Amino acid sequence: MNTDNYFSKRVTLTAKGLAIILMLFHHLFYDAAGFVDRYAVSSAPLSWPLLNDLSFYGKICVSIFVFLTGYGMAVNLGRRDTLQRQQYTLSRFLKLECGFVFVYLLTLLSSVLQPSRFAAYFAEGRAKGLLLILIDGLGLANFFGTQTYNGTWWYMSFAIFLIFLMPIAVKLHEQFGFCMVAVAALITDFGIDGSRAFSIYLFSLSLGIWAAQSHAAGRIRRRCESTSRRWLYLLASLLGFLLFSAIRIKWGFYPWTAGMICLCLSSFLFILIDLLGVRLRLMEVLGKYSMTIFLTHTLIYNHYFTRYIYAPKNWFLILLLLTAVSLAVAAAIEALRKLVRWDSLPIWHLWG
């Protein structure tokens, strides 16, 4: 595989880091209006309407993760035959479960801070409660519509669905090329429920697959041999990102603008990091711990320590505090996971 045709892991980590910041911003100030009022949060120096619009925009984080899933898995599946693709898919699924189950078990231990959340599993009896724990512990609660300890974990069911969808999606893109991107862009017009994650994020996923299969990064690299051309393409990517972001904030068109924002953002980061050599190390660190931060941040700001997180009053300081605390908690969890050699358990390597 010619690595020059793809963007580096540093680009992926940086994009994940930015997505995590957007996720925290979105959850703190859009999905948590009650907390904003209760703790008298200040929007200074922004106005509340602007902060509200920007925090809603933060939901683009989901599309970024979906785009990166499509891109990364398309790269890895593209160099494998059919049997190897099946093995890789199962291995990817087990890797996802490995991280989630560990955090889930720690979450159950932390339920002593708020026992009512754990007790909710057993509202209809002990046997059903144990079944609900098993379903939630595998990340499938949203898929079955059952009780979950943490509503943010809805994405786990979708992520698992995407993993098993990818071999089919990659095959279709190999057969029909950019036509599949066009189909994905129009999928909501075919009568599919627009409230479902599949139809909302399919275009972003498809663009990620197309970007990998068309060697978009390699094409940009070959066209940017001079420094001046790199800066020109960087500016074009930034303008594209700002344009589609403005359209999204002003008029919506969410599935379509989300995909184009992800494409422009990935191009911008590729040129900035891989071609111009700029490193955004804090974003890389956040990207490294992004999954654990995603799994635990709601427990911190929403379940257990809400008044401490919102104590600074100013929105920027609140965001900074939750980012720092979530990163510290994620680093501690990953250190513990490494210490107990959790990833070495045979169950996570059945198809390694």
The structure tokens 């009896």 sit at 125
Domain hosting residue 162, numbered range = 3-81+158-345
pLDDT digits (tens, 9 = 90+) for 10-23: 999 999 999 999 99
- Look at residue 236 and tell me if it is in a domain: yes
Question: Six-digit token pair at 181?
Answer: 């991107």
Q: How far apart are CA 296 and CA 25, in angstroms?
A: 15
HSE value, Cβ hemisphere, 13 Å, CA-based, for 191: 0
Residues 6 or more apart whose CB falls under 8 angstroms from that of 235 comprise none
pLDDT at 69: 97
Q: Are 259 and 203 in contact (CB under 8 A)?
A: yes
- Cross-strand partners of 7: none
- Look at residue 265 and tell me if it is in a domain: yes
pLDDT at 333: 98
- Look at residue 142 and tell me if it is in a domain: no
pLDDT digits (tens, 9 = 90+) for 116-171: 999 999 999 999 999 999 999 999 999 999 999 999 999 999 999 999 999 999 99
The reported pTM is 0.96
In Å, how far from its chain's centre is CA 5? 23
Amino acid code (one letter) for 192 = I
- Look at residue 148 and tell me if it is in a domain: no
Residues of the chain where predicted confidence (pLDDT) is lower than 70: 1-2, 31-33, 188-195, 351-352
Percentage of the residues of the chain whose pLDDT score is greater than 70: 96
Helices (H), 41-146: 48-57, 60-78, 82-110, 115-119, 126-137, 141-144
- Look at residue 191 and tell me if it is in a domain: yes
Nearest to 259 by CA among 210, 213, 304, 294: 210
Q: How open is the CA angle 160-155-179, to the nearest 5 degrees? A: 65
pLDDT at 187: 79
- Look at residue 150 and tell me if it is in a domain: no
Q: How far apart are CA 286 and CA 150, in angstroms?
A: 21
Number of domains in the chain: 1
Q: How far apart are CA 144 and CA 38, in angstroms?
A: 34
The structure tokens 């929105």 sit at 315
The 8 Å CB, 24+ separation contacts for 233-237 are 233/267, 233/271, 234/268, 234/271, 234/272, 234/276, 237/264, 237/265, 237/267, 237/268, 237/271
- Look at residue 120 and tell me if it is in a domain: no
Nearest to 89 by CA among 28, 171, 164: 164
Query: Residue 253 — φ and ψ, nearest 5°?
Result: 50, 50
The structure tokens 């595998």 sit at 138
Q: How far apart are CA 194 and CA 197, in angstroms?
A: 8
Residue 313, classed as helix, strand or coil, is coil
Return the DSSP state at 304: I
- Look at residue 193 and tell me if it is in a domain: yes
